[in-house]
Amino acid sequence: MRVTSSAFSEALTLQLQRLGQRQAQLQNQVSTGLRITDLSDDPAAMGRVLNLQAEVKQIQQYARNNAAATSVSSVTYSAVSELKKISDRAGELCALGGGLTSGDSRQAYAAETDQMIEQALQIGNSQYNGNYLFAGTKTDTQPFVSDPPDASGENITSVSYQGGASALPFDIGEGASVSPYTDEATNKQFADFINNLVSLRDALTSGDNTALTQVNTRLQTSEDNLLSTISGIGAVQTRLESNDTQNQARFASLQSLTSQETDVDLAPTVVKLTQTQTAYQAALQSGAQILQTSLLDYLK
């Protein structure tokens, strides 16, 4: 059966197109190192890759949240540590004040305590990244408000808490959240501590040893609360560090799975490319010879 020149030409053209497309695909894989770059390359694999990429983006968001929470926790830890230093000094002044007979010395300690009250209030109203640290969920509201000053027009008489009832949470993993902020109960303890400092100042000013004894007990309670808060912040930081390690490991795993789906095995791909190029050249040569023979037969 004799094949017409037109039919053979169509078949040859189709074969060359297939080989050319395959050659271009293999060349792209070799140059990019990727087995799939388009949905049509491998629809099933591309679907898996898209799912993996979506999970990678989620992990990256969790990592950013974790980093933000870690920063807040670090600043909070420093702030509470400063309150602890004030508490330590307040305890010293309370003990020293009880043994003094000189009114001038007591007044000097009272003046120092008044500065500590101002400092503690400033720390309580400190901000980080535009948010109040100790305001709970009301991060845009100043948490500690001092009542009108006493008759001298200078001294703080008391402090009250105006912040939120709960702490602002951060999503750091699937179904996992943590708050680097302190809650209402803890923040009210800070207010109690500042008010205890007010009582210490007033007791030193008046020279009332009984009042000093009573405020010393309350200051010790505040000291214990501060230590408990510092310990709790440390536990949050430990959890955040552990979670960061897990996120990094999960991210690396997802990247590896994605690479398994998309990366090309270079050595066999190069072999396939060479074979395809050889087949393409052979098809061109064979086609040229056959078409030339067919043309001679037609001329005869």
Q: Are 114 and 106 in contact (CB under 8 A)?
A: no
**Predicted local distance difference test score (pLDDT) of residue 239:** 95
* 60-81 average pLDDT score: 95
Q: Is 173 exposed, middle or buried (0-12, 13-18, 19+ CB in 10 A)?
A: middle
pLDDT of 17 > 90? The answer is no
pLDDT value of residue 295: 47
Say how far apart CA 51 and CA 44 lie, in whole Å.
11
Least confident of 8-12, 41-45, 95-99, 165-169: 8-12
The band of 273, judged by pLDDT with boundaries at 50, 70 and 90, is low
Q: What is the pLDDT of residue 201?
A: 95
Contact 149, 117 (CB under 8 A): no
> Dihedral, CA atoms, 33, 37, 42, 45, nearest 10 degrees?
80
For residues 272 and 281, the model is more confident at: 281
Phi (first) and psi of residue 170, to 5 degrees: -120, 130
| Cβ count near 288 (within 10 Å) | 11
User: Mean per-residue pLDDT for 154-173?
Assistant: 91
Using CA atoms, how far apart are residues 168 and 179, in angstroms rounded to an integer? 6
Predicted pLDDT of residue 150: 62
Angle at the Cα of 265 (from 261 to 266), degrees rounded to 5? 140
Q: What percent of the chain is predicted at pLDDT more than 70? A: 73
Q: What value does the mean pLDDT take over residues 23-43? A: 65
Pairing of strands 131-132, 176-178: unpaired
Look at residue 76 and tell me whether its pLDDT is greater than 70. Answer: yes
Q: For 206-253, how does the pLDDT look when each residue is reduced to its tens digit (9 = 90+)?
A: 888 999 999 999 999 999 999 999 999 999 999 999 999 999 998 899
| 265, pLDDT greater than 60 | no
Instruction: Give the residue with greater pLDDT, 285 vs 35.
Output: 285
Q: Where are the domains of the chain?
A: 7-33+264-299, 56-254
CATH for 56-254 (3.30.70.100, 3.90.950.20, 3.40.630.10, 1.20.1330.10): 1.20.1330.10
